[in-house]
């Protein structure tokens, strides 16, 4: 059975890749077709991602566009771009014909501006062409940019029997029927039905009598992240998209939302780690450098700022040298506490659970950091006793560190909240940005407070 | 229309909460029921999360268990635990009757051991009881722990007409029909059908003639993260679960996978930020301290380690004091580079894109960090020129920093890979763990290398 091959057990082995490479090299088309026929398009995409460009293009041109169109959508973005460069506008248009409108529009949007029109003009199915052209007009970060035109739509005036007959035609074009959307004469969305409801209903009933008027929907210009939140919250598997006049335009399915959620999570994770742009472990050194170096330069400037601060205290090196030994510790604690606080706030903001007044949050964060800071300060004093450090110095170090921790927690908490209020993505604040500013601020505070206690 | 209320526009306002509180206080049950009837259960859960325990229990007891059962599943975990403590076993059993088997089992699993049996014994529907009891036997991190028993199943020997008639009954119990699973006489999964296929088929056809034998499935003991990967990769909205003998046991739907993906992303994000356990911004100070303090203590030990190292070089404070000014910078660079490298590897491991030999990865990471390190070293030398620093010292600082960056990148790359090979979650390596070890290692290397160059 082919089950075995399409199952969770699919493993991308070196043997398999070598086998494909050999078949491409010897141009053994028949065997190659036979071999790849067994695999799911997502698996073929994984194989192609491992081949060189020439081999991958060979395979794409060999297989039916019915299969390769889906393979193309699953490829790594960089590889897809290269492969599309090696296909003619006509060949790309043939792939497009096989894709659902949302995937088709995404694929075309990735092409260089000048090629887009050329490819679109070569699409033969006029309805498909018009729908894709419409989808290309929406911003990719909105519901319109994510939706597909494929859906099953019925008019409230139809009967159940007539409806079943008619949707057989519509349903063939739709990969999965989630909901049947009910519209009035003006194409306005007025409700929904499930196939199940339709099957369970008597065949002479009118749709108007059985449809459910309580339907969730999103506006076409809604932000995709908000669409994702709604669908996750209400456990929806598809949601219709309407325009300002409630006219039904398309639908968004949960698999697209899964992709949005994954991308969003990956982006936040990378920002927290000080990496911009959407890079992967297998990207080129140049791309990785572009994503990483700017944040390191930021960190470097922070470090150079600390050099300035410490230079100012050079005169106490003879009297209290130990303060200088503690600066990496102070910087680390300020950075760690700041990242913790900001990460919790960023997640809270993303999940809409940061409620209540700012004053309450401030009091809570101060309380929390006082507890943590006090515990850590005791450890520092204990350490000082063990290594036989001057007790006034130990006290000064412990108390200053505690203050640094409180300030770092407050910075970590309020910077993301302020960014969010100003409409800036708060995730940007969890990474090197918070670490760096807390490093400088922490070391400055440390010397000032220690100076007050020890007296220099 | 009630649309307005169930739509994206739902806003949890203080006015709404106060309105509910007032109705509870005045025991105006009729108005309260009328008000809450309009809202989706996920929205009611949000309202209840804002009420005090007494008020929340009042609302839960007032509404129909048909509605409150779903509300319970959407509540914040801590609040749910408190509310369940205030309900009798009989009352909980009534809620359980209304829930799908997977949600029911999850709810029972959260109860204290001794209450679980009591609640189960009060469930009246014997089939429901048996199914929940079965689900409770599976580990929560496996396909069995995630699946529901509700599904639509047909035998290959049935006709299309008979099938439609019979599944009308089954479908009523299933919230959403994704796929119809086809089994043989021995209840073994042999294929699938969609409702669409069934509607499009002639009514006298046998299921055996029209079913699709190519069906994805997972084994009951499969890890949930692997199930999530398969469903996301193949864009599945439901997947059947079978036992070792291919017997159909249940099915997993995509909305549960969305939750798994979100939890997984949140957990990785928190680990990277140095937070253990599943905490939220609104948890108590004690819970937040338990999740944060251990990582801070780890960071503190790292900092104290640096104190030891620097103490060893106290004798050069008079001759090259500037080295000490650069230690926070060195620690920051080592930490930042390590976090960047480890974050990219952790994401790559999660998405299965860390391929190729370890040697290639090593060469790439060295190349990348040499480029970044060189650029940063130039900036340090430039800074030295500007502040009029001794040029040998500047050179020593720049070269040592560059070496520290290369080593930090290697540590950040290989620690997660090694952890992953040993079956430990590599996400643990992105946070304070990498930062702390890189801090100590970096400062040690810095002094050793600077000593070699300057000569002390």
Q: Count the helices and strands in chain A (H runs, E runs).
A: 23, 6
Other CB atoms closer than 10 Å to residue A115's CB: what's the count?
Answer: 15
Range of the domain at A175: 152-253
Nearest chain B residue to A366 by CA: give it: B285
Residues B373 and B247 both lie in one domain: no
Beta bridge partners of B159: B206
Closest by CA to A173, choosing from A75, A122, A97, A237, is A97
Strand pairing report for B152-155 and A248-253: unpaired
Distance CA B112, CA B95 (A): 17
Q: Which residue of A has its CA nearest to B192?
A: A3
Cβ separation of B355 and A200 shorter than 8 Å? no
B290: closest chain A residue by CA: A372
Contact list in A for residue B310 (CB cut-off 8 A) is: 324-325, 328
Pick from B255, B273, B300: CB nearest A333: B300
Rounded Cα gap, residues B344 and B321, in angstroms: 37
pLDDT at A67 over 70: yes
Q: Which of A325, A397, A430 to mutate to test the interface with B (most CBs of B within 10 A)?
A: A325
In the beta sheet, which residues pair with residue A188? A247
Q: Which of B281, B375, B443 sits opposite A344 (nearest CB)?
A: B281
Pairing verdict, β B238-242 and B248-253: antiparallel
User: Nearest to residue A161, comparing CAs of A113, A201, A208?
Assistant: A201
Cβ distance of A216 and B6 shorter than 8 Å: yes
> Per residue, what are the HEC states of A31-70?
HHHHHHHCCCHHHHHHHHHHCCHHHHHHHHHHCCHHHHHH
DSSP state letters, B417-432: HHHHHTTS-GGGGSSH
**Do the domain assignments include residue B262?**
no
Among A6, A279, A439, the residue with its CB nearest the CB of B332 is A439
**Model pLDDT, residue B173:** 62
pLDDT at A393 over 50: yes
Q: In what order do the strands lie in the sheet with B218-219?
A: B218-219, B238-242, B248-253
How far B361 CA lies from chain A's nearest CA (Å)?
9
Distance CA A140, CA A102 (A): 11
Band (A14; pLDDT cuts 50, 70, 90): confident
Cβ contact (<8 Å) for A303 and B176? no
Given phi > 0 = left and psi -120 to 50 = alpha, else beta, which region is A246?
left
A292 and A354 fall within a common domain: yes
Residue-wise pLDDT tens digits, A261-272: 888 888 888 888
Question: Residue A260 domain-assigned?
Answer: no
Residues of A in contact with B324 (CB under 8 A): 310, 317, 324-325, 327
Q: Do A332 and B168 touch (CB under 8 A)?
A: no
Domain membership flag for residue B244: yes
Q: How far is B133 from chain A (nearest CA, A)?
A: 25
> What gap in Å lies between CA A144 and CA A223, rounded to an integer?
9
Residue B205 and residue B297 in one domain: no
Up-side HSE of residue B273: CA atoms within 13 Å toward CB?
34
Examine the domain organization and report whether A301 and A442 are in the same domain: yes
Contact indicator for B361, B354 with CB cutoff of 8 Å: yes
Q: Which two tokens stand for residue A266?
A: 């990956």
Q: For the segment A341-357, what is each residue's pLDDT rounded down to a tens digit?
A: 998 888 888 877 666 67
A95-114 average pLDDT score: 93
To test the contact with chain A by mutation, choose from B167, B197, B216, B269 the residue with the greatest count of A C-beta atoms within 10 A, namely B269
How many beta-carbon contacts under 8 Å exist across A and B? 362
SS3 label, residue B187:
coil
Tokens matching residue B124: 């009246």
**B255–A235 C-beta distance less than 8 A:** yes
What backbone phi and psi angles, to 5 degrees, belong to B205? -70, 150
| Residue A170 CA neighbour count, 13 Å, CB half | 18
Q: Are B269 and A269 a contacting pair at CB < 8 A?
A: yes
Residues B449, B300: one domain?
Answer: yes
- Distance (Å) from the C-alpha of residue A86 to the closest C-alpha of chain B? 25
Q: Residue B264 domain-assigned? A: no
Q: How many of the other CB atoms lie within 10 Å of CB of B336?
A: 30
Structural contact between residues A345 and A413, judged by C-beta atoms closer than 8 angstroms? yes
Q: What is the pLDDT of residue B137?
A: 95
Q: What beta strand segments (E) does B140-194 contain?
A: 152-155, 180-183, 189-193
Residues of A in contact with B366 (CB under 8 A): none
DSSP single-letter state for residue A39: S
Residue A281: both structure tokens together: 């472990």
Residue ending a domain, among B253, B269, B295, is B253
Indicate if B366 and B441 belong to the same structural domain. yes
Q: Which of A173, A299, A329 to mutate to test the interface with B (most CBs of B within 10 A)?
A: A329
Q: What is the DSSP letter of A427?
A: G
Q: How many domains does chain A have?
A: 3
Summarize the confidence of residues A127-139 as an average pLDDT: 95
CATH number at residue B211: 3.10.580.10
Both structure tokens of B409: 């990148």
Return the SS3 of B286.
helix
Q: What pLDDT is attached to residue A275?
A: 86
Give average pLDDT by consecutive 10-residue segment, chain B, 456 residues.
46 88 93 90 91 93 88 90 93 92 94 93 94 94 94 90 78 68 94 82 88 91 91 88 95 89 86 81 85 90 92 91 93 91 87 72 88 95 93 94 94 90 84 86 94 90
Q: Are residues B245 and B295 in the same domain?
A: no
Residue A434 within a domain: yes
- Beta bridge mates, B93: none
Highest mean pLDDT among A9-18, A118-127, A154-163, B352-361: A118-127
C-alpha A399/C-alpha A384 separation (Å) is 13
Residues whose CB is less than 8 angstroms from the CB of residue A140 and which lie 6 or more positions away in sequence, other chains included: A106, A109, A146
A340 with B222: Cβ contact below 8 A: no
Is residue B320 assigned to a domain?
yes
Give A3's contacts in chain B (Cβ within 8 Å): 213-215, 217
Closest chain A C-alpha to B384 CA, distance in angstroms: 10
Q: Which pairing describes strands B152-155 and B180-183: parallel, antiparallel, or unpaired?
A: parallel
Q: How far apart are CA B194 and CA B198, in angstroms?
A: 6
Distances (CA, A) of B326 to B142, B304, B380, B453, B455: 50, 17, 10, 16, 18
Q: Which two tokens stand for residue A173?
A: 């074009």
A37 interaction partners in chain B (CB closer than 8 Å): none
Whole-angstrom Cα distance, residue B122 to residue B56? Answer: 23
- B335/A435 touch (CB, cutoff 8 Å), yes or no: yes
Q: Name B238's bridge partners.
A: B253
Full DSSP string of A240-297: EEE-TT-BEEEEEEHHHHHHHHHHHHHHHHHHHTT--SS--TTS-HHHHHHHHHHHHH
Domain boundary among B111, B126, B143: B143
Cα nearest neighbour of B325 on chain A: A307
Find, in chain B, the residue whose alpha carbon is nearest to that of A401.
Answer: B300
How many whole angstroms separate alpha carbon A339 and alpha carbon A411? Answer: 10
Residue A299 with chain B: CB contacts under 8 Å: 332-333, 336
Highest mean pLDDT among A169-173, A200-204, B76-80, B333-337: B333-337
The predicted pLDDT at position A5 comes to: 37
Residues A85 and A224 in one domain: no
pLDDT at A175: 61
Using DSSP's 3-state secondary structure scheme, residue A154 falls into strand
Tell me the sheet residues that pair with B251.
Answer: B148, B240
CA gap B229, B209 in Å, rounded: 32
- Token reading at A251: 């639908």
Does the beta-carbon distance from B368 to A289 stay under 8 Å? yes
Domain boundary, last residue among B87, B115, B143? B143
Claim to verify: residue B41 and residue B160 sit in the same structural domain: no
B222 DSSP 8-state letter: S
| Interchain proximity B439–A328, CB inside 8 Å | yes
Residue with tokens 């079965």: B134
Can you give the CATH number for the domain in which B428 is found? 1.10.357.20
CB proximity list for A379: less than 8 A, separation 6 or greater: B297, B300
Contact B327/A329, CB-based, under 8 Å?
A: no
- The token pair at B155 is 């035998």
Alpha-carbon torsion (A414, A415, A418, A419), positive or negative: negative
User: Is residue B200 a contact partner of residue A172, using CB atoms and an 8 Å limit?
Assistant: yes
Query: Mean pLDDT score of chain A, rounded to an integer?
Result: 88
CA distances from A446 to A401, A449, B401 (A): 7, 5, 24
> Are residue A438 and residue A293 in the same domain, yes or no?
yes
- Say whether both A320 and A411 belong to one domain: yes
Same domain, A129 and A77: yes
Nearest to B326 by CA among B445, B154, B158: B445
Kindly state the percentage of chain A with pLDDT values over 70: 95
Each residue of A297-335: pLDDT tens digit?
A: 999 999 999 999 999 999 999 889 999 999 999 999 999
Q: Enumerate the H helices of A422-431 as residue ranges.
A: none
Shortest distance, CA B114 to any CA of chain A (angstroms)? 32
Subunit contact A282:B355, Cβ cutoff 8 A:
yes
Instruction: Decide if A276 is inside a domain.
Output: no
Which structure tokens are listed for A84?
A: 């599309």
The number of beta carbons lying within 10 Å of the beta carbon of residue A319 is 10
Does B260 reside within a domain? Answer: no
CA nearest B295 in A: which residue?
A336
Closest-CA distance, A114 to chain B, in angstroms, reads 32
Q: How far is CA A391 from the centre of its chain?
A: 51
CA closest to B268 among chain A residues:
A269
């Amino acid at each position: 059975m082919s089950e075995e091959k399409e199952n969770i057990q699919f493993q991308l082995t070196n043997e398999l890749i070598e086998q494909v490479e050999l078949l491409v090299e010897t141009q053994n088309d028949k065997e190659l077709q036979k071999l790849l026929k067994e695999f799911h398009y997502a698996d073929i995409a994984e194989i192609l991602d491992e081949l060189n460009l020439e081999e991958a293009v060979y395979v794409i041109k060999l297989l039916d566009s019915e299969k390769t169109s889906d393979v193309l959508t699953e490829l790594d973005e960089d590889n897809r771009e290269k492969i599309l460069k090696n296909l003619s506008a006509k060949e790309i248009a043939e792939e497009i014909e096989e894709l659902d409108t949302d995937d088709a529009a995404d694929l075309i949007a990735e092409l260089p501006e000048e090629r887009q029109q050329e490819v679109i003009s070569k699409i033969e199915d006029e309805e498909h062409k018009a729908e894709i052209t419409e989808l290309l007009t929406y911003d990719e970060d909105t519901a319109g940019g994510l939706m597909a035109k494929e859906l099953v739509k019925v008019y409230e005036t139809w009967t159940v029997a007539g409806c079943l007959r008619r949707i057989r035609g519509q349903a063939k074009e739709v990969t999965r029927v989630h909901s049947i959307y009910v519209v009035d004469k003006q194409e306005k969305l007025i409700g929904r039905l499930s196939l199940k409801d339709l099957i369970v209903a008597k065949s002479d009933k009118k749709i108007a009598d059985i449809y459910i008027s309580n339907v969730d929907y999103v506006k076409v210009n809604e932000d995709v992240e908000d669409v994702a939140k709604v669908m996750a919250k209400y456990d929806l598997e598809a949601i219709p998209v309407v325009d300002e006049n409630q006219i039904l335009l398309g639908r968004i399915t949960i698999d697209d939302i899964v992709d949005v959620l994954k991308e969003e999570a990956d982006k936040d994770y990378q920002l927290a780690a000080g990496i911009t742009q959407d890079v992967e472990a297998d990207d080129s050194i140049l791309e990785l450098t572009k994503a990483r170096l700017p944040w390191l330069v930021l960190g470097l400037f922070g470090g150079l700022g600390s050099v300035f601060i410490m230079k100012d205290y050079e005169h106490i090196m003879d009297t209290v040298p130990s303060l200088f030994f503690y600066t990496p510790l102070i910087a680390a604690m300020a950075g760690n506490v700041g990242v913790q606080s900001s990460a919790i706030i960023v997640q809270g903001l993303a999940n809409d659970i940061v409620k209540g007044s700012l004053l309450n949050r401030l009091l809570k964060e101060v309380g929390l950091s006082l507890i943590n800071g006090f515990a850590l300060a005791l450890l520092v004093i204990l350490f000082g006793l063990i290594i036989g450090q001057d007790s006034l110095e130990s006290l000064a170090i412990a108390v200053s560190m505690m203050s640094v921790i409180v300030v770092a927690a407050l910075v970590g908490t309020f910077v993301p909240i302020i960014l969010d209020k100003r409409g800036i993505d708060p995730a940007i604040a969890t990474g090197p940005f918070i670490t760096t500013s807390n490093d400088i601020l922490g070391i400055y505070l440390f010397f000032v407070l220690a100076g007050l206690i020890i007296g220099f």
